[in-house]
Structure 1
Amino acid sequence: MKDKSRDQHGSNSVTSRRDVLRHGASLTAAVAVGAHGSRMVHAETPSADPNRTINIGIVGAGGRGTGAVNDSLTINENVRLVAIADLDQANAERLRKGMQTRHGEKVDVKDDRIHTGLDGYKAILDAPDIDVVYLTTSPGFRPSHIAEAVSAGKHVFAEKPSCVDPAGYRVCTAAHDQAVKNGTAIVTGTQYRRQINYVEAVRNIHDGMIGDIIGATTRYCSGGIWYKNRAEGVSDTQYQLNNWMHFIWLSGDQITEQAVHNIDLMNWVMGAPPESAYGSGGRFTRPEDSEMWDSMSIDYMYPGDRPVSFMCRQIPGSKGDNGSTIRGTKGTAIIGSGSSGSQILDRDGKEIWKLGGSIADAYRQEHKDLMDSIRAGKPIVELRETANSSLTAVLGRMAAYTGQKVTWDFATKESTLDLFPESIDWDGERPAPAYAIPGKTKLA
């Protein structure tokens, strides 16, 4: 990554989470004031006009950001991409070119509306003509970016996970409440909640088709994941931001960054987050400087004495398994990953319900729902649900990393864990990478 923005956009260092955002009593007020004072800068007041044009600015021009904005421009009429922010100029220009090729007049990003560097996102939040901000950077930035976007009065699409630690969770829940007060939307990248076979399977479960829920098993096991070697001459900060998946302050490890989808399904099915987590795991195949583990197994206990056995793994050459099985007193629901569909069996194993689904349709539907809710003047605000699922993943990681049983109450009310740096210097050093060791890594 090359820093081409320091002269244009100010300092090459940024303060992480403002102190006031971390303290419970002042949290909601802090989100309301934020970095921009009390002013609102979204372009238009809520309108029931189904034809008004909605302008999009995106922060994070990588693969997920590209997919999200492409889905939005594909499914929605009268939307325009007008601004892009990314750490890397080349990424931003690549996104602009690709979207122009696919969507033509729906893309109107002038050269002076490409913003780079650590603080490039601020130009998008300050722009009065931008209605919706897409937040698709590495997850460690998500809580503070959401909070600042809400304080700027923007509608938000925020990718999953919404947080990687309890400190970020508290920022997100305050931002959710403030968005409700603002009348601004927050839709999140939990596409399974809009995939027809998931929606109908969960409805059938809640309607009693499998009886009372006894427990569940969910797996997110796959092969390896990308890793980027360190280029010559880059700082610690630049390297870690470019190789973000392998640093816990940025990704939260596989359980948080990737497997949160299955964890979100469990919270949805159970109707609440778990009461506790206890687990283990380890690392066998990760590169030397990666902080990630490559497997975790967590026993979650949900209200009503309902256990969920969860496992995630990224080990090359191992057998993949991605899906969820929910067991009840009358039957079993099997909900596959991706587009593999859902089915419900009775106690004798006879199929009594089945439905296919398209994950591609679900990816697009979340963006249609966002824009439709804005145009109707009834903005969707769903950050709290995704924050709960993100923290459920963090809860499991905390339990595995420390070797301790960790409760939801501890994570939400007592934990002081805050992984994000006090400040980030683009050219600066970072602490040497270190992975967790149960029994040595302390619960915080």
Structure 2
Amino acid sequence: METRIPMTLDPKIPSNQSPRRDSNKSNNRRSFLQTGLATSAVAASSLTSANRLSATETNAVHTSSSTESPSREPIRMALVGCGGRGTGALNDSMTINENVKLVALADLKKEKCERTRKAMSGRHGDKVDVADDKMHEGLDAYKRVLEDPNVDLVLLTTSPGFRPYHISEAVDSGKHVFAEKPTCVDPAGYRICLEAHERAAANGTAIVTGTQYRRQNNYIQAIEQIRSGAIGDIVSATSRYCSNSIWFKNRQPGASELDYQLDNWMHFIWLSGDQITEQAVHNIDAMNWVMGSAPETAYGSGGRFTRPEGSEMWDSMSIDYQYPGDRILSFMCRQIPGTQGDNGSVIYGSEANMHIAAMSGGSKIVDRQGKEVWSAKGSIADAYRQEHKDLIDSIVAGKPIVELKQTAESSLTAVMGRLAAYTGKKVEWDFLTEKSTLDLFPKNLSADDFPPSSGHAIPGKTKLV
């Protein structure tokens, strides 16, 4: 499939052209970081959905900074997407990693770059070295970052609809990548991610993703317990991501349709993928990890009762995912004001049940008599930082982690649930990965003639393509 690169408002920049790093200085620096410093950090193994870091290995990587040479050249980072999640990821990385430096920022609006620079300078001092001409704004701002030979690592945290294209170009530019979840919102983006994963693995560039539960102690230990047979065979599971309302931004006077949708990105499916993809993918990713694969089918329903006019989002979905071995995951996500929240998963085994609470709620095994027989605590704040520690350590060790494929699979699992609800059809994994032609990304991002929303999905009318 041809990789379509999202373009820019600047017609002078070709939409089918990826920036390449041809600078000898840049290539020499990358070689130095990957090989010359390999002995200064603990090696981090490549992670796949079937081979995650154990708790012991995670702790080994975490403590490696104490043995690193203080004189090594810092890894130079750039952030693309200076919103709350992007600034949070940047803060996590600079908090846990000693020898890193922020050198560039990019966002749709320069004032957000300025706020991020000011906030990070106040917290991290000389780890921040962003000149005025290294703060880029506009849809093409990410290109300026990828063309910069002084950038080793780029953090990609814009609205998810752009993620596959940004990742793909970053890999082609020779950058190491931290990519927030989800990594795609449709099958077209999923295929781009698979191709980018393979190129990154071949090129020796890292891709770590914002699926922090994969590095949270109580999740890691829960998976180890399940794999060791502590609950018997997995029979079925439930998972919930139910909360209250979410932000909505009214259209600003004089804003174009494109500006309005970009500013209000959560409410447009080409940008967010709806709640199940943008937010609830955390629990879906954890369940794919538990089950050891993506599901085979999805069937579900949902609706919208409280979303503001103009939003394409639904406010609830209930999906039955069928995994290999005829194991059913009953999944629900919801954002409705005044309702009772529930966030976590239960894995029902033939001998006992595993409860894994979201956030920092911990994990526990309850036997058939209702007695708690095992438990583990976990801190989501530590997990947020650990993913950035593992990323930097793997780069310094010359053994870059590449984990895009597993996160793309989890993202597409969320998409599969959304499409099952939207269309009222049973959706098969093989159909999505091999036959679906769904590509939500607009063919034109011109502010002058960007089309308005066609409205929210209606089962029976919305087609499965």
Q: Which residue does 1:27 correspond to in 2?
A: none
Equivalent residues of 1:275, 1:408 under 8 A apart: yes
Identify the range of structure 1 (39-48 vs 287-296) with the bigger mean alpha-carbon deviation: 39-48
Query: Does 1:281 find its partner at 2:302?
Result: yes
Which amino acid in 1 is paired with 2:435? E
What's the offset of the Cα at 1:429?
2.6
Which amino acid in 2 is paired with 1:267? N
Equivalent residues of 1:12, 1:118 under 8 A apart: no
Which amino acid in 1 is paired with 2:10? S
Query: Match of 1:423, SS?
Result: coil
Q: Which residue does 1:251 correspond to in 2?
A: 272
Aligned positions of 1:41-440 closer than 5 A = 41=26, 43-45=29-31, 46-47=34-35, 48=38, 49=40, 50=68, 51-440=72-461
Q: Distance in 1 between matches of 2:217 and 2:83?
A: 27
Which amino acid in 2 is paired with 1:303? P
Which amino acid in 1 is paired with 2:319? I
Identify the range of structure 1 (363-372 vs 41-50) with the bigger mean alpha-carbon deviation: 41-50
Q: Distance in 2 between matches of 1:78 and 1:387?
A: 30
Q: Distance in 2 between matches of 1:138 and 1:313?
A: 20
Which amino acid in 2 is paired with 1:288? E
Q: Which ranges in structure 1 are unaligned for 5 or more consecutive residues?
A: 1-8, 19-33
Q: Structure 1 residues 311 and 223, CA, compared in 2 at 3 Å: closer, same or farther?
A: same
Equivalent residues of 1:118, 1:426 under 8 A apart: no
Q: Distance in 2 between matches of 1:429 and 1:295?
A: 29
What's the offset of the Cα at 1:350?
1.2
Q: Which residue does 2:18 correspond to in 1?
A: 35
Query: Match of 1:323, SS?
Result: strand
Q: Distance in 1 between matches of 2:459 and 2:345?
A: 27
Q: Structure 1 residues 37 and 154, CA, compared in 2 at 3 Å: closer, same or farther?
A: closer
Equivalent residues of 1:12, 1:117 under 8 A apart: no
Q: Which residue does 1:21 correspond to in 2?
A: none
Q: Distance in 2 between matches of 1:354 and 1:107?
A: 40
- Report the TM-score when normalising by structure 1: 0.92
Q: Distance in 2 between matches of 1:306 and 1:413?
A: 23
Q: Distance in 2 between matches of 1:253 and 1:120?
A: 25
Query: Match of 2:294, SS?
Result: coil
Q: Which ranges in structure 2 are unaligned for 5 or more consecutive residues?
A: 1-7, 41-67
Percentage of identical aligned residues: 65
What's the offset of the Cα at 1:433?
4.1
Q: Distance in 2 between matches of 1:264 and 1:296?
A: 17
Q: Which residue does 1:11 correspond to in 2?
A: 10
Which amino acid in 1 is paired with 2:97? N
What's the offset of the Cα at 1:12?
6.6
Q: Distance in 2 between matches of 1:10 and 1:251?
A: 21
Which amino acid in 1 is paired with 2:407? T
Query: Match of 1:58, SS?
Result: strand
Which amino acid in 1 is paired with 2:91? N
Which amino acid in 2 is paired with 1:44? R
| Residue deviations 1:6-26 (CA, integer Å, cap 9, x gap) | xxx98179777x5xxxxxxxx
Q: Structure 1 residues 15 and 334, CA, compared in 2 at 3 Å: closer, same or farther?
A: farther
Q: Distance in 2 between matches of 1:136 and 1:53?
A: 22
Q: Distance in 2 between matches of 1:429 and 1:144?
A: 19
What's the offset of the Cα at 1:425?
1.3
Q: Structure 1 residues 350 and 130, CA, compared in 2 at 3 Å: closer, same or farther?
A: same
Q: Distance in 2 between matches of 1:207 and 1:344?
A: 13
Which amino acid in 2 is paired with 1:179? A
What's the offset of the Cα at 1:422?
1.0
Q: Distance in 1 between matches of 2:85 and 2:317?
A: 24
Q: Structure 1 residues 38 and 83, CA, compared in 2 at 3 Å: closer, same or farther?
A: closer
Q: Distance in 2 between matches of 1:15 and 1:280?
A: 41
